């Protein structure tokens, strides 16, 4: 099986962007850790990032029929995008919402997520290890037929 790891706006700046919040690892480092984790579960990975809401919606739609599930960090669109939430519920794939930082310990505008009600599982505040946890959870859901 194959999974999609999808990253939203500004995550291309990972490693240099507010390292006190998001750490020093780059998005390429995250991709490497995702590929390593997925391999331990026998999963193939497509890894993608976009700063554009519509491109993220297209990527979610394209995951139908090609991927068994999605690990999704929607970035700031988490807190603004009904369209992304509709895409997540529309594709009927298990989507694991991941945030590197603990959004609940930050500004109040980060406390609400449009994605959480339609996500299968949520990983928050685990740093980049959250991607690893998200992949392990997807592997669990896919393997158990509960995806
Ligand atoms: C984030 C949290 C969001 O509030 C923020 O806008 C991001 C990154 C995280 O991974 O912690 O861009 O999704």
Catalytic residue among 67, 77, 99, 131: 99
Query: Which pLDDT score, from 0 to 100, does residue 146 have?
Result: 67
Residues 23-48: pLDDT tens digits?
999 999 999 999 999 999 999 999 99
Residues 98-123: pLDDT tens digits?
999 999 999 999 999 999 999 999 99
CB atoms within 10 A of CB 131: 25
Query: Which pLDDT score, from 0 to 100, does residue 27 have?
Result: 98
Q: Ligand 1: distance of its center to the CA of 99 in Å? A: 6
Tell me the CATH number at 120. 3.40.50.9100
Q: Ligand 1: distance of its center to the CA of 130 in Å? A: 12
pTM of the full predicted structure? 0.96
143 — pLDDT class (breaks 50, 70, 90): confident
- Work out how many domains the chain is built from and give that number: 1
């Amino acid at each position: 099986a194959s999974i999609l790891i999808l990253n939203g706006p500004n995550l291309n700046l990972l490693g240099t962007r507010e390292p006190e919040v998001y750490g020093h690892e780059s998005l390429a480092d995250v991709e490497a850790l995702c590929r390593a984790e997925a391999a331990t579960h026998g999963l193939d990975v497509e890894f993608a990032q976009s700063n554009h809401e519509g491109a993220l919606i297209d990527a979610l739609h394209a995951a139908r029929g090609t991927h068994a599930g999605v690990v999704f960090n929607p970035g700031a669109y988490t807190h603004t995008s009904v369209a992304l939430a509709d895409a997540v519920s529309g594709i009927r794939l298990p989507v694991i919402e991941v945030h590197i930082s603990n959004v609940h310990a930050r500004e109040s505008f980060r406390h609400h997520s449009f994605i959480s009600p339609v996500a299968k599982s949520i990983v928050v505040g685990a740093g980049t290890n959250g991607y690893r946890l998200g992949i392990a959870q997807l592997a669990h859901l896919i393997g158990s037929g509960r995806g």
